[in-house]
Structure 1
């Protein structure tokens, strides 16, 4: 099984139609957390797919997308106030 890395992806999209497309695209890769923020567990291949897909969806002069990769040690040091839990490592897939 390919190793999954943890990413926080944030975006600022100036057009409602593109905003909806970006949101729907990212739903296939991670969990929506607030406004324009997703938490995603991605393999290297998925990461490349997300980068390429978002590049096609946005207008670079009008929109912005940021990727923050958190290593395991950094992710474990993160904390949260209020409702909601910090994400655990993804479950291992078992193929029989």
Structure 2
């Protein structure tokens, strides 16, 4: 039985190159980069918490920011990409 995954848009503003690279490599394991500092990811609840803990250890809490936007399935279907995107995350386990 597969675990239910939820769709998140993760955005960040991280000053240090090294920290920014670490966060982007971490997020690449769960989703796709859609802009320089924007990822679309699929997380189980456990994966989300793990990523948040890892990010917390990487970033400088005084000047960096990472934001996780949970997007419901209904809202996900209404996302508009301009220009139109070819690749999108699989929604097989999204609820």
TM-score band by shorter chain is 0.7 to 0.9
Q: Residue 40 of structure 2 aligns with which residue?
A: 39
Higher relative contact order (CA 8 A, sep 6+): 2
Partner of 1:9: 10
Look up the SS of the partner of 2:77 in the other structure.
Answer: helix
Which TM-score applies when normalising by structure 2? 0.87
Please give the alpha-carbon distance, in whole angstroms, between the structure 1 residues aligned to 2:26 and 2:33. Answer: 11
- Please say which of residues 28-37 and 78-87 is displaced more in the overlay: 78-87
Alpha-carbon offset, residue 80 of structure 1: 1.3
- Normalising by structure 1, report the TM-score: 0.86
How many residues are matched?
92
Q: Could you list the runs of 5+ residues in structure 1 that have no partner in the other structure?
A: none
**Runs of 5+ in structure 2 lacking a partner?**
none
